[in-house]
Amino acid sequence: MSITREHACAMDANDPLATLREQFVLPEGVIYLDGNSLGALPRATASRVQSVMADEWGQQLIASWNTAGWIDLPRSVGDRIARLLGVGAGEVVVADSTSVNLFKVLSAALRIAQHDSRRRVIVSERSNFPTDLYIAQSLAQQFDCELRLLDADTLAQGIDSEVAVVMLTHVNYRTGAMHDMGALSRKAHAVGALTVWDLAHSAGAVPLALKEDAADFAIGCGYKYLNGGPGAPAFVWVDPQWVDQFQQPLSGWMGHAAPFAFDPQYAPASGTSRYLCGTPAVIAMAALECGVESVLAAETYGGMAAIRAKSLALTELFAECVSKFAKGYGLRLVSPHEANRRGSQISLTCEEGAYAIVQALIARGVIGDFRAGDGVAMPDILRFGFAPLYTRFVDAWDAATHLHEVLQSGNWREARFAARHAVT
Amino acid sequence: MSITREHACAMDANDPLATLREQFVLPEGVIYLDGNSLGALPRATASRVQSVMADEWGQQLIASWNTAGWIDLPRSVGDRIARLLGVGAGEVVVADSTSVNLFKVLSAALRIAQHDSRRRVIVSERSNFPTDLYIAQSLAQQFDCELRLLDADTLAQGIDSEVAVVMLTHVNYRTGAMHDMGALSRKAHAVGALTVWDLAHSAGAVPLALKEDAADFAIGCGYKYLNGGPGAPAFVWVDPQWVDQFQQPLSGWMGHAAPFAFDPQYAPASGTSRYLCGTPAVIAMAALECGVESVLAAETYGGMAAIRAKSLALTELFAECVSKFAKGYGLRLVSPHEANRRGSQISLTCEEGAYAIVQALIARGVIGDFRAGDGVAMPDILRFGFAPLYTRFVDAWDAATHLHEVLQSGNWREARFAARHAVT
């Protein structure tokens, strides 16, 4: 039995999170399935940023570092994000980019891991997001380590007593496959290794419980499911047990115990402020705060559990609609079939034309992403992100229908589309 | 002969840059002499940022990485800044914070310097801005170096054949004293060392000619004289001769030769993009672009030379007004007397109460800064920045008069002021 559009509409009518969509500006005639690349604009952001500029910067000028709480933004926005990670207030700070934060925590983790042993291996996943691998390559050189890249299904075996740090992205950016954070972290701990988790495609999309899942360090992105805006600042969480041993390589003044004492000798702050480096990016952090608030607004309706339930229902609906015509066009699901093993996206492969098909969909107003394969193990993929705060069931149904029509028409074969960048 | 207020007003009437003040939002009743801490808000910024949010992010979403040029912002804003540094287009990029960028260039410089010699010394100034010293401390540890801190007047002697890198801030944040970049850089080159210049208090305030002055690496701040907004992104310049040898420790994907190929192996971009790390902070970079444009607007009226001429006239006027009553209250000029040796600020010491005096001035709407001394060699200071784009001669005169009145009244002795942070 096929799912009907009416059925999808009925699911929207029963969706406890449905009203949260009103928080966002969404362009007319567009089905936006790229919130895992760039989250949508919350309506509240424009007026908040305007006020930061016109009132706080324009009128109060330098005084706003105190009177408007600018100096506390890394911690105050961090406290809000902490609620999405299942960790305590005062454990998360917002700062810099995901890549820069990964450098900080991986460096600190390696230093702790090598303190009393000669561990020389960083384990990661072969198909991890490249920036994570690049940062690990730089630090592997500095710390005289080998970067051991494994496929997802052999990760657990590859975590042995040589390993200093297991560095993984929780939800894979290509496939949407989600690691079992608790199992892998405990495996790492069992052999004496530390864990670093990249939550780029998890924060705001799936429930997290970092402490229970035995994570040691985590970083994540502000501009995907947190709706913080293009290039939004990123965040850092560190298990409180490691704070005092966290040696900050990017020892900028905002991580100093007393930044305004202008002491010539670096002395790290005692708490999470230690993970900061330079002056907080105030305007960007204000925008991120609005984005995080747009996710926290779900707390009234069941919070992350409700977001996860809707996310799974959305991806399930889309996958099921696609499955009806997939075989005839060589389409194949790359994301895990088991709902509890995937994040909030559906990735598909096809035998040919993945790029052109994505472009044909975009021309119809269905915004997904193309991710190139490596020509060997990893195929080209069509990637569809489902942000439960603003994606409706009828959007998932319509998107699948558009995909079917594109494939039926065969138009994409003739079309020529300009190359296009896309930010993960 | 004392300078009269009428004389100051006449100077404003003859100021070729006077109309540029109209570019800025400035609060009523405030004399803002803290533009070297946080530049004022350009009127253009609010509408530009609004458009980036509402149109580019809100309506075009992910497509704006290409259609709105987001992906090129680090280079396009960098090209504008290059015009203020006396270097070529394509040589500057905008990214991250000043502290993070210093980490990148000092790391790269040390690697080059140590490539074929065992140089083990980083030279800097004892009273350099702390974040620079902190970053140098971290890298000194990593590269097994000694951080040799010298006073300004012994710097040249301290640059010997053991030195790998001379890392200096061009204009001192406390005193406003400006180093002779050309002389010190040539001295460094003569002994085989490289130079790293922090332009935080120079860019947009004094004319720069990095190539002629034999700089090798430079970084600088977007939120002071460039008016980019609180915590604005910072910039990086590298002498083109070092680009190919620049090893980026923060090897994030935006510095990759082909970021969107998602290659698992890091391969640095061939040009200035190599200095990038994570995803560009779009909203903040758009605000910075407006700030830089507010400085480039002076090009019609004589550019950086005209800005410098006005800056010197402003600081000269203020210093001269203060000199009339300074002695009676134990006030002393800390900034260099010789105009060509100071940046765009005047710093004063007094025997007691510097903090309270600054607070009393703030209570009168004269916004300067207090910078604590170290109780030994460095005294507490009162710091007054003169941003020539929006500071008038009458402001300098009025500020000096307010300072006189505060000292005459002695009120500051009784006043109690809440502690206050301030971001350099």
ipTM metric = 0.96
Round to whole Å and give the CA distance between B40 and B386: 12
| End-of-domain residue from the set B298, B324, B340 | B298
Q: Span B107-132, mean pLDDT?
A: 95
Inform me whether the pLDDT recorded for B421 exceeds 50.
no
Where residue A325 sits, what CATH number does that domain have?
A: 3.90.1150.10
pLDDT of residue A378: 82
Give me B356's structure tokens: 């309270």
Which region among A250-254, A415-419, B265-269, B354-358 has the lowest average model confidence (pLDDT)? A415-419
Please say which residue of A263, A298, A333 terminates a domain: A298
Could you count the other beta carbons within 10 Å of the beta carbon of residue B374? Answer: 14
Clarify whether residues B51 and B112 are in a common domain: yes
Boundary of a domain, candidates A251, A270, A298? A298
Interstrand relation of B24-25 and B366-367 (parallel, antiparallel or unpaired) = unpaired
Beta strands B381-385 and B345-349, pairing class: antiparallel
Contacts of residue A39 in chain B, CB cutoff 8 Å? none
Active-site option among A15, A34, A198, A216: A198
Nearest chain A residue to B48, by CA: A50
A270 and A400: one domain?
Answer: no
Q: Are residues A220 and A290 in the same domain?
A: yes
Tell me if residue A310 is catalytic: no
Please count the structural domains in chain B: 2
Residue A105 has a pLDDT of: 98
- The string of pLDDT tens digits covering residues A379-406 is 899 999 999 999 999 999 999 999 999 9
* B238 shares a domain with B284: yes
- The stretch A298-308 carries a mean pLDDT of 98
pLDDT reported for residue A416:
59
Mean pLDDT across A370-376: 84
- How far is residue B412's CA from residue A65's CA, in Å, rounded to a whole number? 23
Average pLDDT over residues B303-313: 98
Is A224 part of the annotated catalytic residue set? Answer: yes
Cβ-defined contact of B264 to A27 (cutoff 8 Å): no
Do residues B152 and B239 share a domain? yes
Residue A358 has pLDDT above 80, yes or no: yes
Catalytic residue status for B129: yes
Whether the pLDDT of residue B66 is over 60: the answer is yes
Which tens digit of pLDDT belongs to each residue from B227-272?
999 999 999 999 999 999 999 999 999 999 999 988 999 999 999 9
Rounded to an integer, what distance in angstroms lies between the CA atom of residue A402 and that of residue A411?
12
What is the percent of chain B with per-residue pLDDT over 70, rounded to a whole number?
Answer: 97
Same domain (yes/no): B156, B285: yes
Domain of residue B181, CATH code: 3.40.640.10
Looking at residue A166, what is its pLDDT? Answer: 98
Q: In chain A, which residue's Cα lies nearest the Cα of B55?
A: A27
Give the residue on B whose Cα is nearest the Cα of A142.
B142
CB contact under 8 A, B71 and A130: no
Does B262 qualify as catalytic in the annotation? no
Distances (CA, A) of B317 to A69, B332, B343: 35, 15, 14
For residue A421, pLDDT over 50 is answered with no
Query: Is B422 in contact with B37 (CB distance < 8 Å)?
Result: yes
Write out the H or E segment, with its range, that includes residue B310. helix B303-326
Confidence (pLDDT) at B416: 59
Structure confidence by residue, pLDDT tens digits, A224-236: 999 999 999 999 9
Mean pLDDT, rounded, for B366-372: 94
The band of A415, judged by pLDDT with boundaries at 50, 70 and 90, is low
Provide the CA B323 distance to its chain's centre, in angstroms.
Answer: 27
Which residues does chain B have within 8 Å of residue A263's beta carbon, measured at their own beta carbons? 130
Distance from CA of B1 to the nearest CA of A (A): 35
Q: Same domain for B182 and B92?
A: yes
Angle at B28 between CA B26 and CA B34, to 5 degrees: 50
DSSP string, B210-232: TTTTT-SEEEE-SSSTT---TT-
Q: pLDDT class for B53, splitting at 50, 70, 90? A: very high
Q: What is the pLDDT of residue B419?
A: 46
Same domain, B268 and B356: no
B224 is a catalytic site residue: yes
What domain range is A393 assigned to? Answer: 5-32+302-413
Calculate the average pLDDT of chain A: 95
Is the pLDDT assigned to residue A352 strictly greater than 90? no
Q: Is the pTM of this model over 0.80?
A: yes
